[in-house]
Amino acid sequence: MKNRPPRWVIAMAAVPAIVLGAPLFALLWRLPWSDLGGALTSDAAKSALGLSLITSVSATALCVLFGLPLAWMLSTGTGVTTRVVRALCLLPIVLPPVVGGVALLLAFGRRGVVGQWLADLGIQLSFSTAGVILAQFFVALPFFVLSVEAALRQMDIEFAEVAHVHGASPTRVFTSVTVPSIAPAIAAGAVLAWARALGEFGATVTFAGSLEGRTQTLPLAVFNLLESDPADAVVLSAVLVVLAVAVLVALRDRWFGVLRSEVQR
Amino acid sequence: MTGTRVTASVEFVRSDLCLQFDVPDVPFVALTGPNGAGKTSALRCLAGLEEAAHVTWSDGEPKSRGYLPQRVMLYPAMSLADNIASSMRFAGLDKASISERTAELLDLVDIAALARRRPHEVSGGQRQRAGLARAIAATPALLLLDEPFSAIDVDSRARVRARIIEHIAESGARCVMATHDPNDLAAADAVSILLP
Amino acid sequence: MGIVGCGGSSASVVDVLAASSYTDVADELETLLEDELGIDIRFSFGSSGTFLEQLNQGAPAAVVITANGETMRRLESAELVDASIAMNRNELIIVTADTTIGQSINSLADLAASGDAVTVVCASTAPCGAATDQLLKQAGLTLSPASREPNVRATLTKVILGEADAAIVYRTDAQVRPDLRFVEITDTVDVVGRAASVTGKANGANIIEVLGSAAAAEILADAGFSAP
């Protein structure tokens, strides 16, 4: 019996495919191809693109650096602390981004709970590029941690046991055995986090503000352009989409290739 | 059978298992018994993997251990060669020794041609050979092997077994092997039978 | 986007799209319009710069109130609205926080010269921002703001929250918060708020008539908007 889904399933699946595909199609269809050069090379566009890339990659790097230990902790813990920390981790996904921005201001703004101490040291995170990175880190971290924690829980502990018997310390087991085994999940989590960071708007504009070259990332630039030059806004939007799709396509085989061979064991 | 001298005494109680046995003081001990009697658990106790177990060692805990579980468990992200080298790296040996010995071991278990392959790319028997090599690589004081030749084809089994036993003899290690294979039992210095 | 007709006939709620500077007078204008015309009015706010695109995409507003003449002119050129009327005049002013840095600013020149002050202004695409750019150009000064916010209320909020030491906003926005410190700008730039009926919308003309009346002018004057 062939494993083809029944017609009603295909029909229903077509609905979200259209809802997701139509805007993408429309964006590329309505692209003002003749204006492309001018729109992409304008100072605002170049600085927004550069800033977006720098901040999103930095935020992603932070997500990986701090997310790995966090995911490790969450995957091995069972107590109340673990559950509380996990809920905290997932909070940014549930919070509307602007609310996240407000919360960040209350915590790290000049008069914020933590921010006021930073202000005494002469550090102001709001209105700074570092603030953009912080806002992106805040919204992107849950995506990374979720992906990695799931993979860690799925991992067979016997791998770690063998390494332990052979004399590896817990840290050594983690770096030499565990992390390489879940590399596809780490990559997937990092890409998801990066995409989320790249597209972040609400928390960024609320916490870090909007200034060309310092805090005006691509989404903020697009928002700004909508008021003055919608055609340029479409061009920049297309850049964002093309970037995202290119990375997803490039990495897709890497993840699925290794996953498939794991299953064949 | 055995003399009164004992290497280790194991006591392990779990909801489904009650284990109590002594490991005779000979170089090569074969553990056998029906399925479910606790052979794997016994090895895990000796490996230090069961926290609830009471293990008493006559001469103190072994300084190093080599372990081959029933499911082999080669690290999936590493090549066979790197897997073999892993136990040496964890033991802190230097790079030169590691690469020299890895080459030796690959030859010893006849998988030199597969050195750069990943575990999922080779057969069960080849994985088991690599697992064996990994377990003995750092010349551990105590070698724990769980049905170590079960996946190797019958024709090659004798050769591999002979080489491993030779290695054990040369290194002065103790080996405890869980097995069903009568050839393994015949080669052992002592046989312990676990009954459920 | 307003969803028209929640629980009533589709003609019962009429939307008015207004620049965010009108946020605080909206309630009173709403009451005035409802009393005079007997229809249900709903105000929504945003930056005047976005109105062109919103109306192009079919926002359901019957009337549009912009913060300056330039944005209204664009709507008129695009033939999205009928002829507009002038509602009020509004002028730029500096507001500062109660911090030591904030208190050291006493003029536009002080603001431009201050290296420590964290200043925010509106984005150039918003009327308030365009006016700020014009103001600085006229005065021959340059400013390095920490951020250019999407609309004038967002700009004011940064000072209220304590994130910024100073901002350039409209007088009417500053008056909403008497606890803030104002600094007048000599030779300030002013903008003229204009209102127009969206072409083809039924109640538009009636609403414009009321907005141009003496009663409306009084409401605006009380809030600090000067006569056009």
Concatenate the DSSP letters of all residues of B89-107 into one string.
Answer: HHHT--HHHHHHHHHHHHH
pLDDT tens digits for chain B (196 residues)?
445 688 898 988 888 888 888 999 999 999 999 888 889 999 999 999 999 999 999 988 999 999 999 999 999 999 999 999 999 999 999 999 999 999 999 999 999 999 999 999 999 999 999 999 999 999 999 999 999 999 999 889 999 999 999 988 999 899 999 999 999 999 999 999 988 7
What is the helix, strand, coil percentage profile of chain A, to 5?
80, 0, 20
Q: Is the dihedral angle over the CA atoms A110, A112, A115, A116 positive or is it negative?
A: positive
The closest alpha carbon to A258, from A184, A189, A185, A187, belongs to A184
pLDDT over 60 at A258, yes or no: no
**Confidence at A3, pLDDT banded by 50, 70, 90:** confident
Confidence at residue A251, expressed as pLDDT on a 0 to 100 scale: 67
Structural domains counted in chain A: 1
Contact state of A177 with B73 under an 8 Å Cβ cutoff: no
Identify residues of A whose CB sits under 8 angstroms from chain C CBs.
105, 109-111, 124, 126-127, 205, 208-212, 215, 223-228, 230
Does chain A touch chain B (at least 3 C-beta pairs within 8 Å)?
A: yes
**Confidence at A253, pLDDT banded by 50, 70, 90:** low
The total of other beta-carbon atoms located within 10 Å of residue B151's CB is: 16
Q: DSSP label at B53?
A: -
Residues of A in contact with B50 (CB under 8 A): none
Q: Which B residues, 141 through 170, put their C-beta within 8 Å of a C-beta on chain A?
A: 144
B134: its two tokens? 């990994």
Measured in degrees and rounded to the nearest 5, phi and psi for residue C110 equal: -60, -45
Q: Residue B38 and residue B53: Cα distance in Å, rounded?
A: 13
Tell whether A172 is within 8 A of chain B (Cβ): yes
The closest alpha carbon to C51, from C66, C41, C69, C73, belongs to C66
Within-domain flag for A108: yes
Contact state of A109 with C146 under an 8 Å Cβ cutoff: no
Confidence at residue B120, expressed as pLDDT on a 0 to 100 scale: 94
Q: For chains A and C, what is the number of CB pairs under 8 angstroms?
A: 57
Measured in angstroms, the CA of A115 and the nearest CA of chain C are apart by 10
Q: What is the pLDDT of residues A64-110, one digit of tens each?
A: 999 999 999 999 988 999 999 999 998 999 999 999 999 999 999 98
CA angle C128, C130, C133 (to 5 degrees): 110
Residue listed under structure tokens 């009084």: C218
A246 compared with C59, residue with greater pLDDT: C59
Measured in angstroms, the CA of A197 and the nearest CA of chain C are apart by 20
Within-domain flag for A153: yes
Tell whether B130 is within 8 A of chain A (Cβ): no
B140: its two tokens? 């551990």
CA angle C212, C216, C218 (to 5 degrees): 125
Q: DSSP label at B149?
A: T
pLDDT over 70 at A263, yes or no: no
- Whether residue A27 contacts residue A238, with contact meaning beta carbons closer than 8 Å, is answered with yes
E strand intervals along C47-158 = 61-66, 85-96, 119-122, 147-149
Tell whether C3 is within 8 A of chain A (Cβ): no
Contact state of A165 with B49 under an 8 Å Cβ cutoff: yes
Average confidence score pLDDT of chain A: 88
Q: What is the pLDDT of residues B94-111, one digit of tens each?
A: 999 999 999 999 999 999
Contact state of B86 with A166 under an 8 Å Cβ cutoff: yes
Measured in angstroms, the CA of A137 and the nearest CA of chain C are apart by 20
pLDDT tens digits for chain C (228 residues)?
444 434 444 457 899 999 988 998 999 999 999 999 989 999 999 888 889 888 988 888 999 999 888 899 999 999 999 989 999 998 899 999 888 888 899 999 999 998 888 999 999 888 899 999 999 999 999 999 999 998 888 999 999 988 999 999 998 888 888 888 999 888 888 889 999 999 988 889 999 999 999 999 999 998 888 888
The three-class DSSP label of residue B24 is: strand
Residues of B in contact with A159 (CB under 8 A): 73, 75-76
Q: Which A residues, 175 through 204, put their C-beta within 8 Å of a C-beta on chain B?
A: 176-177, 180-181, 183
CA angle A40, A44, A48 (to 5 degrees): 85
Within-domain flag for A174: yes
Domain containing A97 — which CATH number?
1.10.3720.10
Domain containing residue A248: 38-264
Confidence at residue B168, expressed as pLDDT on a 0 to 100 scale: 87
Residue in A201, A225, A227, A237 to test binding to C, most C beta-carbons within 10 Å: A227
Confidence at residue C3, expressed as pLDDT on a 0 to 100 scale: 40
Contact state of C148 with A109 under an 8 Å Cβ cutoff: no
Closest CB from A111, A209, A225 relative to C149 = A209
Contact state of B69 with A158 under an 8 Å Cβ cutoff: yes
> Which domains, and CATH codes, for chain B?
8-193 (3.40.50.300)
Residue listed under structure tokens 């010349």: B139
Which segment of A207-216, A222-231, B82-91 scores lowest on mean pLDDT? A222-231
Q: What is the pLDDT of residues A16-53, one digit of tens each?
A: 999 988 988 888 888 877 777 777 778 888 899 999 99
Q: Residue B29 and residue A85: Cα distance in Å, rounded?
A: 48
Which chains touch C (3+ CB pairs under 8 A)?
A
- Whether residue A240 contacts residue A198, with contact meaning beta carbons closer than 8 Å, is answered with yes
Tell whether B75 is within 8 A of chain A (Cβ): yes
The three-class DSSP label of residue C58 is: coil
ipTM over 0.90: yes
Measured in angstroms, the CA of B38 and the nearest CA of chain A are apart by 17
Measured in angstroms, the CA of A209 and the nearest CA of chain C are apart by 5
Q: What is the pLDDT of residues B136-154, one digit of tens each?
A: 999 999 999 999 999 999 8
- Residue C151 backbone class (left: φ over 0; alpha: ψ -120 to 50; beta: rest): beta
Q: Which A residues, 127 through 166, put their C-beta within 8 Å of a C-beta on chain B?
A: 156, 158-159, 161-166
Residues of A in contact with C59 (CB under 8 A): none
User: pTM to 2 decimals?
Assistant: 0.83
Treating both helix axes as pointing N-terminal to C-terminal, what angle do B154-171 and B124-137 enclose, rounded to 10 degrees?
0
Confidence at residue B2, expressed as pLDDT on a 0 to 100 scale: 47
Residues of C in contact with A126 (CB under 8 A): 163
Confidence at residue A265, expressed as pLDDT on a 0 to 100 scale: 41
Measured in angstroms, the CA of A148 and the nearest CA of chain B are apart by 16
> Which domains, and CATH codes, for chain C?
13-89+192-222 (3.40.190.10), 90-190 (3.40.190.10)
Residues in chain A: 265
Measured in angstroms, the CA of A147 and the nearest CA of chain B are apart by 18
* Most confident residue range from A141-145, A231-235, B11-15: A141-145
Within-domain flag for A226: yes
C23: its two tokens? 């946020």
Q: Which C residues, 132 through 171, put their C-beta within 8 Å of a C-beta on chain A?
A: 145-150, 158, 161-164
The three-class DSSP label of residue C86 is: strand
For B119, nearest residue in chain A (alpha carbons):
A265
Within-domain flag for A24: no
Distances (CA, A) of B3 to A23, B60, B193, C209: 82, 20, 15, 114
E strand intervals along chain C = 13-19, 40-46, 61-66, 85-96, 119-122, 147-149, 166-170, 181-183, 190-197
Contact state of A127 with C118 under an 8 Å Cβ cutoff: yes
